[in-house]
Amino acid sequence: MRIGIVGLGLMGGSMALALKHISFVTSIVGSDHNEEHQRIALGRGLVQAIVPFSKLKEECDVIFLAVPVNGVIALLNECTDLEGSDKTLIDLGSTKAPIVDAVPPCIRENFIPAHPMTGTEQFGPNAALEGLYADKVVVLCDLEHSGAAQRDIALRIFRSIGMQVHTMGAAQHDRHAAFISHMPHVISYALANTVLAQEEKENILALAAGGFRSMSRLAKSSPAMWEDIFRQNRDNVLEALEFFETELQALKTALKNEDYTELRKEMKGANKLYQIFT
């Protein structure tokens, strides 16, 4: 199986590293508009060659689109010449409904909308990690509209790199992702800006320990990438933030009123989250 990866940053580069260990993958080539990314990807051995997208489409059996959502949509519209082929197109975008709605109908059967629920705050090909996908969840959306062969190939690939496959509708995915991925990024950016706005920010940050570092880590994420995600999933992110504001206000009110019984009740309620995880 010949694999092509468009976008050689964290997600695409890490996918290349994962696929190198799969016996049925015979070659991995890449495409990236950033010449520095091309150089680094070749230097790290993420891909065997850098090729133009037109050649990648022609030569590869499976094509991963590991670029921002708007880029995925643009690339899919360049793939109408694959109509009637047995090729498999898999995107790794963080929002799914805008992509599913935009895919040209003539290649819908070729397409698998996927979102691996993994990543770090780093970006670019230097951020590519061995094992990024292992033991993580991947959500595959609206598979009933994908071809049977394409479904089988996607399932084989994701399971071979150690991922747990979940399926759901694209709209359902985007609402869920707003709560567990997109909203935390908004909060992390806001937390970082809150501290940076203080006159003695250097002294404050000198005291930063594990809690602050954990909560602010996501603020290092690429603004360009996350602007795209927030734009594409705006309504769901706003809904999630409204729920968050309600919960934050409850804690604030209890503290303001010195109602420590209520404050403890709110915190004990939050403790239940990890009963679900464990």
Write the pLDDT tens digit of every residue in 130-161.
999 999 999 999 999 999 999 999 999 999 99
The answer to whether residues 59 and 132 touch, using CB atoms and an 8 Å cutoff, is no
pTM value is: 0.87
Band of residue 121 on the pLDDT scale cut at 50, 70, 90: confident
H or E stretch at 276: helix 273-277
Position 215 scores a pLDDT of: 87
Polymer length of the chain: 278
CA angle 227, 126, 76 (to 5 degrees): 50
H or E stretch at 30: strand 27-31
Position 243 scores a pLDDT of: 97
The domains of the chain, with CATH numbers, are 2-168 (3.40.50.720), 173-277 (1.10.3660.10)
Band of residue 278 on the pLDDT scale cut at 50, 70, 90: low
Position 119 scores a pLDDT of: 79
Position 90 scores a pLDDT of: 98
CA distance 30 to 134: 21
Write the pLDDT tens digit of every residue in 200-225.
888 878 877 778 888 888 998 888 88
CA distance 265 to 259: 10
Write the pLDDT tens digit of every residue in 17-67.
999 999 999 999 999 999 999 999 999 999 999 999 999 999 999 999 999
Write the pLDDT tens digit of every residue in 228-262.
899 999 999 999 999 999 999 999 999 999 999 99
123-127, 174-178, 185-189: which range is least confident on average? 123-127
Band of residue 173 on the pLDDT scale cut at 50, 70, 90: very high
Q: Which of 87-91, 193-197, 208-212, 213-217 has the highest mean pLDDT?
A: 87-91
**Residue 23 neighbours by CB under 8 Å, 6+ apart:** none
CA distance 171 to 142: 9
Using DSSP's 3-state secondary structure scheme, residue 213 falls into: helix
